[in-house]
Amino acid sequence: VIVNIIHSVKGYHSRTIRFLNVAFDSSGDSLLAGDQQGNIYVFDLSGNRFSLVQRTMQACTALAFNLRRKTEFLVALADYSIKCFDTETKELVSWVRGHDSSVSSISVHGSGRYAITTSADTAQLWDLDTFQRKRKLNVRHSVGIQKVFFLPLSNTILSCFKDNSVFAWEFDTLHCKYRLPTPVEGSVLLYKVFAVTRDGRIFVAGGKSNRLHLWCLESRKIIRIIQMPAKVRSVRHLEFLPDSFDGGSNQILGVLSQDNIMRFINIETCKLLFDIGSHEEGISTAAISPNGRYIASVMEDGSLNLYSVQALTQEGNKPPPPVFKVEENWSMCTSEPNKLTMRATPGRSERPWKSKGSKIQTRLLKLQANTSLENKENELPGGLNKKRLQALLKGFGEYPAKYRMFVWRSLLQLPENHLAFSSLIDKGIHSAFVNIQNEYPIKSRKLLRVLQRTLSALAHWSAIFGETPYIPLLAFPFVKLFQNNQLICFEVVATVVVNLCQHWFECFPNPPVNVLSMMENVLAHHDKELLHHLIKYNVTSQVYAWPLLETLFSEVLTREEWLKVFDNIFSNHPSYFLMIVVAYIICSRAPLLHCKQTAEFESFFHHRNNLDINVVIKEAYHLVEATPLDIHPQHMLDDFIPLTKGQYPVFNKYPKFIVDYQTQELERIRQDEIEYLRERQIAHELEAKAQEQKAEDEAWYRKHELLREAEEQRRKMLLEEEEKLVEQRQRLAAVKRELKVKELQYLDASRRRFLKYQQEQRQMELKRLDDEIARKAEEQETAATVQDAEVRWVELESQRQLFEQHLIKDQEAVTKEMKEVLDAHRRTVDLEDRLVQRLMEIDREEKQKAQIVSEENLAKAEQKRIEAKWRLQVLQKLRRDDQDREKRYEEIAKLLHDNRVKEAELLKAMREAEEKKWEEVIQKKAQLEEELKAAAAADEHRKQFLEDKMNDALELAEKLHRGDGCSERWHDLEAGCTKGGAELQQVPRSGNICLNDLSASELPSHSKFPNRRRTDLACQEQELMAEVRQLRQKLTSQAQTRHPPTCFQATIWTP
């Protein structure tokens, strides 16, 4: 043993303050220890010093000192909270709350950033940077959690439950990686404690048996079962001893058994190496430093031992007995009660790890206390003196607010029975306070929860408190004051009930008449007038005294006044509580004498009044001193009795049979209420089912109504589609008619344009002829008749040749024009064919779209029909509707078939019409060839005619040489020649006009009136020839009038 530390308080009531938990930092050179009063000490093993870093005023249940920030540590307290403090600044860094039961362990991740806190019912993962909860593991109460911790050097979390199940979780995703199989063996081993090697490969579990299970976490199998000696019946703690040279695969395991001895064994050889502790000095819990140099153990007597592993391994199994101890004495009279002084004994200056044999360092830590033997009966826990506190209270009127709670705890001598209180809390909420929020609606849920738990603990402690209606009023001020420490709150209320409420419950369920009578006697002795005034208006002690007693003045005093009053109540005999009630009544004498109605008195004692509380306190002290002994409550009430340590005393100062009967009646009423509520719940469920069935029926009817409406809508849509199809067909027919009309209009316009063009050509020809005739007439007036005749003959010859050339050119032009006409007609026919094909394609696409839409509608209708047929088999009316709908669909299909047949017939008729048109074109071509042949025959005829005329002219010229009537014949010859020339000019034009007429009649191959047009053209040609003859005759008569005929000599024609 290197050092033994005992934290004790010397005085009249000397006692030892027990250490509860220890923890090393990550380096192993600093040790953190916490005691039952909430004091946290840090021991610097390398610097050989220690310091008090925090006073939490609550017992700590778990510690962790290996955070990322080396100066910070976590501590779990008895109020289920976890707080983080800094060892250098000694300040609170942060605190978290989330557990509903005591935290048993704290596991910190290797990075020091995350921590897992474990309680019996839940495990929670915290982020130590933000101190926010990340995840929470909840389990059933029947299973329970043993421990949840991080595996070293990995991101795996192991969770161990009370049913022997062990799960491994991935830290990042919190997904379950694997589960260790339940071991199959004859003996039952319930896992309670666990340990893991530093490399995270070997997992050891032990419990209520002398066997240890060694698991390989890689293969997830048990590799060895170690059986401890027979005197080991169960294992309380397991921890591996680190070694710097084993690479984390620790071989030495420390096993703390039920006999409070910690044995260290080699898990490979299963040999016992050494042990620490004994039956006289047993070990409660232990911790091993990460560097493997020290073992810190909390002993059963509450002291703290520090062992050197090197000395243990060298000197054998049993360590030498300690030759020193550390003592601590506490005196609250000093301003710094936790300031420790150190004194070393002579010859013990060596460092702990360098000591050998008897050269062991001794440290004496002792606080000086000024105690006197004559005041031992006034000594209080924590080094306080009751007489000095009373003197301080009379001098200042109240205790310092900073130390008030500590002074109260010392005055009331609270035992802080954690186990007994936990057993009461574990019983749950008492049935009498399940619905306390209905009677006392408190806004703060935390305050309501603490009040509910405190009252439930009181009711579980003694049944009378579950039936007492005013117990919430009595406990509420203390609950509000101590809501952060439920143990202290419960013990304060219990102490108040045991001492200040003596004889209250003897007349249950009525108010304590005996106590009220004592107060009335005191009031009668000190103020008879006031008592007579109260009796005069039938105001009893239950009106003016009992409200102050049952509420502990919480209704009539402010917080500061109430604290001041109870400073005096807790510092005096329990009878002082009754005296201060009487003092309050006497000090309120003036306003009470003015009250004359019972309601006014009741309101006065239930509301705050303008009263100096210091005067009331002084009056109470005066009543204590001036009241005669025969009526003094001090002789009727017992002295202050604190609660017993370990277990709370039995409280049975009440009529048990009344309470039992009332409890039975209340239980019966509660069962009746439960039965009534159950029946009402059943009725509500039936009503809800009926409403649900009604809603389902209504929904079913609405659904069928919607189906019917949908069917009607579909029918309307089909009708609309049919109407649209008819309209589209009508529009298509109208478009076709418009195209036909436009085609006819185009043909008629082209024909008119061609006729106009021919008429313009003819007018231009007539004008040219008129100009030529006028010009020739002027030129030929002075010419000789012979020359004129010769010129005319030459002219006739040239005209003949020109006519032949023009005839050839006209034939070529007619042929070219016919080719152009045929090409234009062919292009027109091709264009019409493309238009017809395009229209047919558009019609076909429209038909296909209409067919697709109709097919989709038919498919949808068929599907709906099948669904409606499957769903509505029972309804005959809907079946008939389906049949009618099928018939209509068949009619539509038939109509569609008829339409397709008609469309095929239409296409056939169009093809026949096209064939007829081609036949007409062929016929027209044949007619054209015949006409061309006829024109050629006419040309031959004209040539023969011209030759005949020429022969006649020659014969006439010969006769002119012979006879005297030369002039008349010459004129006849001239007239004949002129007429012959006119006919010569008319013949080719007639042929040209005939050819043009043929080409014009051939252009519209499918014209309706070709014969009529030819007739019109022939008539116009005849009229034009007649006008030409008349014009020439007129010109000839004018020439004869101007130049009369002369007699020419006989002329010989030379060839």
Q: Give tens-digit pLDDT for 591-606.
A: 999 888 888 888 998 8
Which residue shows structure tokens 């062992």? 307
Looking at mean pLDDT, say which of 132-141, 989-998, 1041-1050 comes out highest.
Answer: 132-141
Give Cα 883 to chain centroid, integer Å.
50
Do the Cβ atoms of 131 and 116 come closer than 8 Å?
no
Nearest in space to 1013 (alpha carbons), one of 1030, 993, 1033: 993
CA distance 386 to 275: 47
Helix 656-779 / helix 1010-1042 crossing angle, nearest 10 deg: 30
Q: Which residues contact 1049 (CB under 8 A, 6 or more apart)?
A: none
Do the Cβ atoms of 1006 and 748 come closer than 8 Å?
no
More confident of the two residues 511 and 1013: 511
Nearest in space to 654 (alpha carbons), one of 534, 506, 548, 778: 506
Q: What is the pLDDT of residue 617?
A: 92
Whether the pLDDT of residue 328 is over 90: the answer is: no
Q: What is the number of structural domains in the chain?
A: 1
CA distance 151 to 155: 7
CA distance 204 to 240: 9
Percentage of the chain exceeding pLDDT 70: 83
Nearest in space to 492 (alpha carbons), one of 428, 408, 384: 408
Nearest in space to 617 (alpha carbons), one of 378, 393, 402: 393
Give the pLDDT mean for 162-173.
Answer: 86
383 pLDDT tier (thresholds 50, 70, 90): low
Q: What is the pLDDT of residue 670?
A: 78
Which residue shows structure tokens 């078939």? 897
Do the Cβ atoms of 353 and 310 come closer than 8 Å?
yes
Helix 513-526 / helix 575-587 crossing angle, nearest 10 deg: 50
What domain range is 543 assigned to? 511-637
CA distance 872 to 866: 10
Dihedral sign (CA 538, 540, 545, 549): negative
Tell me the CATH number at 522: 1.10.472.80
Residue 831, exposed/middle/buried by CB under 10 A (0-12, 13-18, 19+)? exposed
More confident of the two residues 977 and 488: 488
Widest Cα–Cα separation across the chain:
212
Q: What is the pLDDT of residue 84?
A: 92
Q: What is the pLDDT of residues 831-862, one digit of tens each?
A: 877 887 888 888 788 878 878 887 787 778 78
Distances (CA, A) of 469 to 343, 475, 509, 531, 853: 58, 12, 9, 28, 82
Whether the pLDDT of residue 373 is over 50: the answer is: no
246: left (phi over 0), alpha (psi -120 to 50) or beta: alpha
Other CB atoms within 10 A of residue 932 CB: 17
926 pLDDT tier (thresholds 50, 70, 90): confident
Do the Cβ atoms of 63 and 88 come closer than 8 Å?
no
CA distance 80 to 76: 7
Do the Cβ atoms of 207 and 191 come closer than 8 Å?
yes
Q: Which residues contact 492 (CB under 8 A, 6 or more apart)?
A: 408, 412, 414, 478, 482
Whether the pLDDT of residue 765 is over 70: the answer is: yes
Give the pLDDT mean for 302-328.
Answer: 61
Q: Which two tokens stand for residue 218?
A: 């890689």
CA distance 843 to 349: 118
Whether the pLDDT of residue 983 is over 80: the answer is: no
CA distance 665 to 843: 95
CA distance 42 to 60: 14
Do the Cβ atoms of 317 and 307 come closer than 8 Å?
no
The SS3 of residue 83 is: strand
Whether the pLDDT of residue 347 is over 50: the answer is: no
Q: What are phi and psi of 368, to 5 degrees?
A: -75, 135
Q: Residue-wise over 124-150: b if at least 16 C-beta within 10 A, else e?
A: bbbebeeeeeeeebebeeeeebbbbbb
Has residue 31 been placed in a domain? no
Global pTM reads 0.37
CA distance 110 to 155: 9
CA distance 618 to 110: 63
Q: What is the pLDDT of residues 203-257, one digit of tens each?
A: 999 988 888 889 898 888 888 888 888 888 889 999 998 876 666 678 889 999 9
1009 pLDDT tier (thresholds 50, 70, 90): very low
Quickly count helices (H) and strands (E) in the chain: 23, 34
Q: What is the pLDDT of residues 437-471, one digit of tens each?
A: 888 888 888 889 899 999 999 999 988 888 888 89
Has residue 624 been placed in a domain? yes
CA atoms within 13 A on the CB side of 658: 14
**Which contiguous run of DSSP H or E holds residue 931?**
helix 876-962
Q: Which residues contact 1003 (CB under 8 A, 6 or more apart)?
A: 750, 751, 754, 821, 825
Has residue 614 been placed in a domain? yes
Q: Which two tokens stand for residue 880?
A: 């008939």
Q: Which two tokens stand for residue 499?
A: 């001492």
CA atoms within 13 A on the CB side of 180: 29
Do the Cβ atoms of 389 and 407 come closer than 8 Å?
yes
Residue 372, exposed/middle/buried by CB under 10 A (0-12, 13-18, 19+)? exposed
The SS3 of residue 159 is: strand
Has residue 619 been placed in a domain? yes
Dihedral sign (CA 228, 230, 233, 236): negative
Instruction: Please give the single-letter amino acid code of residue 455.
Output: L
Give the pLDDT mean for 315-336.
Answer: 36
CA distance 144 to 529: 67
Q: Which two tokens stand for residue 109?
A: 């991740």
Nearest in space to 460 (alpha carbons), one of 433, 480, 483, 481: 433
CA distance 1035 to 773: 9
Give the pLDDT mean for 432-441.
Answer: 86
CA distance 467 to 499: 20
Do the Cβ atoms of 125 and 170 come closer than 8 Å?
no
